[in-house]
């Protein structure tokens, strides 16, 4: 386990997340890889009709929701929408009644609320990484997100797919695999 010197015994997670969409809007997927040094798991999921931004948000929401205990979490994302949203925009939107600086209603408000709720359980640091630029964690998260879209098409109409009825998130499927 990676050591957290400020709070001994508290796990330090490093999580790479990514979202993908075929068309925007269109079928979408998200995925991620989470590691502590002694634990690791991958996860992915898909929605039938969504946007890339929604899938980027879902990747971070699901990642944080899978952590059973509060801890120190480093989230690596290639989405400036997610990274800046959590580090710069979210407090302003909340103070502004969920309006942007130009007075428009914040898109994906429900997902931002869900992400904020999950993030409050942990000490989260948000890191932006350039997508498709050789970062192994980002590349794997992208593979998982794209794989979730492919799996949705492959499993269409077949039994055995885990369906997680997420309110207001449409037709949603989710998959997880422990690595060690």
Q: Which residues are catalytic?
A: 18-19, 56, 78, 132, 142
Biggest distance spanned by C-alpha atoms of the chain:
50
Give dist(CA 82, CA 108) in Å, integer: 11
Tokens of 82: 């997610």
Sheet containing strand 72-77, edge to edge, reads 123-128, 72-77, 12-21, 26-35, 40-50, 172-178
Q: Is the dihedral of CA 143, 149, 155, 160 positive or negative?
A: positive
Give dist(CA 68, CA 127) in Å, integer: 22
**Quick one: which of 110, 21, 125, 12 has its CA closest to 77?**
125
Give dist(CA 115, CA 112) in Å, integer: 5
């Amino acid at each position: 386990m990676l050591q957290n010197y400020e709070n001994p015994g508290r796990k330090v997670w490093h999580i790479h997340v990514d979202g993908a969409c075929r068309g925007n809007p269109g079928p979408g997927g998200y995925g991620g890889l989470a590691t502590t040094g002694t634990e690791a798991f991958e996860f992915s999921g898909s929605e039938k009709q969504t946007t890339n931004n929604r899938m980027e948000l879902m990747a971070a929401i699901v990642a944080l929701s899978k952590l059973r205990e509060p801890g120190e979490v480093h989230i690596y994302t290639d989405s400036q929408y997610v990274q800046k949203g959590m580090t710069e925009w979210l407090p302003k939107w909340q103070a502004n009644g969920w309006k942007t600086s130009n007075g428009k209603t914040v898109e994906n408000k429900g997902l931002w609320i869900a992400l904020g709720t999950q993030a409050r359980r942990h000490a989260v640091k948000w890191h932006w990484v350039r997508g498709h630029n050789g970062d192994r964690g980002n590349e794997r998260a992208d593979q998982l997100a794209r794989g979730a879209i492919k799996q949705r098409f492959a499993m269409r109409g077949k039994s055995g797919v885990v369906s997680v009825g997420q309110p207001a998130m449409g037709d949603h499927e989710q998959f997880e695999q422990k690595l060690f």
